[in-house]
Structure 1
Amino acid sequence: MSPENNRITRGGAVLPRAIRRRGPILEVQWDDQGHLGAFETRAVRLACPCAGCVEEMTGRPLLDPATVPLDVTAEALEPVGGYGLRIRWSDGHSTGIYTYGFLLARCPCPACTASRG
């Protein structure tokens, strides 16, 4: 744990304290000081980094947002190693691995949003 920000780290990567499904929201608690990212589940689904959703060489999105239901939900969360999360979605998709760094870089909390400019 880093004393500066009360975050758990492993090999320099930030690990969340807790991840919870709350209806259309995926909550990621990054530390004990109130840093909580409340991600809209559809936005997370649309950002899926798997090879079926993003062109591997160019990073061009392959996923058509019109094919993802507006009410898509995270049905199950599965830790992957010590670095990420696999999500089983209500639309049947489950191949993406969301690294904790990927999620932290997209954290929608006010402080993170402001720091991205």
Structure 2
Amino acid sequence: MSTAPEHTPTRIAQHDARTLAIDWADGARSLFDVRALRLACACAECVDEWDGTPRLAADDVPADVAPIGLHAVGRYAIQIDWSDGHTTGIYPFARLRALHGEASPSAANGDGNGERLRS
């Protein structure tokens, strides 16, 4: 478990209908396209636990999928309930921050300071 500022969220909220925003303790902001975040689920239902092969096909996730619930998992992760019925994915903060690093800059946040994971 990391308590480094880059792995510590200060705020997690719906930015708009298609975007989840995470503000980090080091001042960074991540904007995640919610469908891309659903597709990034690494639970055993979505990714083979032995070899890491994806089990979830992009075509299996509705274009309008959305988070309907967020739950803290200790002090290291969130669990997201999705509108497609998926509820087993746990998103560790370190993984979310790594996904932030893979994101491309987006003007969608209005201030140019965030990065967005796109589907």
Q: What is the TM-score normalised by the length of structure 2?
A: 0.78
C-alpha displacement at 1:31, in angstroms? 2.9
Map Cα deviations across residues 7-61 of structure 1 (whole Å, 9 max, x no partner): xx6278721110001311010101363x111100000000101000000011110
Matching residue's letter, 2:47: V
Aligned-residue CA RMSD (Å): 2.2
Count residues in correspondence.
104
State the structure with bigger RCO (CA 8 A, min sep 6), 1 or 2: 2
**Within 1, Cα distance between the matches of 2:4 and 2:29?**
22
Q: Summarize the alignment of residues 73-92 of structure 1 with structure 2, pairs less than 5 Å apart.
A: 73-92=66-85
The question of whether the paired residues in 2 share the 8 Å contact of 1:36 and 1:109 is answered with no
- Asked whether the 8 Å contact 2:6–2:25 carries over to 1, the reply is no
For 1:86 and 1:106, locate their aligned partners in 2 and report how far apart those are by CA, in whole Å: 16
Unmatched 5+ stretches in structure 2: 106-112
1:72 matched to 2:65? The reply is yes
Gaps of 5+ in 1: 1-8
1:56-71 to 2 correspondences below 5 Å = 56-71=49-64
**Stretches (4+) displaced over 4 A:** none
Identity rate of aligned residues, in percent?
39
Q: TM-score, normalised by structure 1?
A: 0.80
Q: Mark the structure with the bigger radius of gyration.
A: 1
**Is contact 1:86-1:94 (8 Å) kept?**
yes
Work out whether residues 12 and 20 of structure 2, in 8 Å CA contact, stay in contact via their aligned partners in 1. yes
* CA distance in 2 between partners of 1:15 and 1:65 (Å): 29
1:17-56 equivalences in 2 (<5 Å):
17-21=10-14, 22-31=16-25, 33=27, 35-56=28-49
Secondary structure of residue in 2 paired with 1:51: coil
Residue 97 of structure 2: SS of its match in structure 1?
helix
